[in-house]
Amino acid sequence: MINEEYFLAALRLAAGHDPLPEHVSAAARDAYGLRVPQAVTAVPAECPASREVRSADGCKMVRFVAAGLTFDLEVTVGDGLIDVAGQIAPHPGEGSHVDVRTPHLTLTRRLARTGHFAATGLPPGWLSVVCHRPGQPPVQTRWVRIRP
């Protein structure tokens, strides 16, 4: 039988002699930089159009829900780039806006009175949308991987 205290002490000693590889530290810093402090994370929800994962025109529908908001996103891939047309319902209020984010690019868009927004020319890969509402915590979608 292993003594837990000796085992933990051995792990601590070993950790001191084997530094974390720099690429692991860099990846952790990059991931930490993608967070939105105090944000509420919207989770995927069933969407009538999401039953078909992809339609013939390369369009994908995704829905997220949290904090009384519904994010409906229509993602289209064409010419190697991603276009996002979205709606947040109900409208989150005057002065609200969205950030359409990739790990290396953020496009900020004002919401129309109907809650609609669009962002075009995004690189393929990971995508998240954050809704900023005056006087309330932001609401962000989970990261979704979009491939051409």
Tens digits of residue pLDDT in 38-93: 999 999 998 775 444 445 567 889 999 999 999 999 999 999 999 999 999 999 99
Predicted confidence (pLDDT) per residue in 114-141, tens digit: 999 999 999 999 999 999 999 999 999 9
Nearest to 129 by CA among 92, 87, 94, 90: 87
Place of tokens 């996002």: 84
Domains and CATH numbers, the chain: 4-33 (no CATH), 40-146 (2.60.40.10)
Residues 139 and 70: beta-carbon distance below 8 Å:
no
Q: What is the pTM of this model?
A: 0.79
